A and B are shown apart, each in its own frame.
With several copies, the nearest count.
Chain A
Amino acid sequence: MKLKYFAWVRERIGVEEEERDLPAHVNTAGDLIHWLKGEGENYAYALEKADFIRVAADQKHVRHDASIREADVVALFPPMTGG
């Protein structure tokens, strides 16, 4: 699965995107965030306020309880500030 990061989530993790094989127990967007937090200090820092992180699966907003296993690209980012 391709993971993409934006804004300060991107800065803290240190990469714009990466390919990752998800463990079998990662099903929802929330699972993904929780698992990534254990993948290193940079991830733990970027995702420390897990509830705050927004998720898009294949460019559509999804809730933390939505399954993301079928998605090709999942993006994690802070609340948006456009307009």
Chain B
Amino acid sequence: MIAVSVTSEPLATDAIVASLGADGDTGAVASFVGLCRGEGGRLKGLELEHYPGMAEAEIERIAAIAKDRWPVDGIVAVHRHGLVLAGEPIVVVAARSRHRDAAFDAVRFVMDFLKTNAPFWKREHLLDGTFGGWIEAKSRDDEATARWVSG
């Protein structure tokens, strides 16, 4: 089971992880929540622009690669767009499997590829209501993605 969605609504983290379900063979659930940082109180939040349609398709493609690569029985990934306030979740990724390595690897793989390949762009939303700059892509994110190809 792979379930992907992109939404402008606040993410209900616990419900998203629970939507993975479980069966008698589930021994491991790994999950990750990426949160909007306030950067020392400077930010009201982040505005996330996305490419509707491609954003969902790209995350699904990444999740499908993870599911082929590791013995996981389910992967769920939900990503927000629009204004995300400091402290709120931006993304939730979770996987379940029989043994822990597969769930750990699948979640981290999806997060790493999602960062570099899912069409979202973050812009700072300052406390005074104006927009700050666009967030720049980090070379360490490209390196994190490359690790899965060479490794």
Contact = CB atoms under 8 A, between A and B. Distances in A.
Does a CB–CB distance below 8 Å link A and B in the complex?
yes
Interface of A: 4, 6-8, 56, 59-61, 75, 77-83
Classify the secondary structure of B's interface with A.
mixed
27 contacts: A6-B119, A6-B121, A7-B121, A7-B123, A7-B134, A56-B54, A59-B54, A59-B57, A60-B54, A61-B58, A61-B117, A75-B51, A79-B116, A80-B119, A81-B115, A81-B122, A81-B134, A81-B137, A82-B48, A82-B50, A82-B90, A82-B91, A82-B115, A82-B122, A83-B79, A83-B111, A83-B114
A82 B135 CA distance: 10
Nearest to B53: A59
Contacts of A60: 54
A81 B136 contact: yes
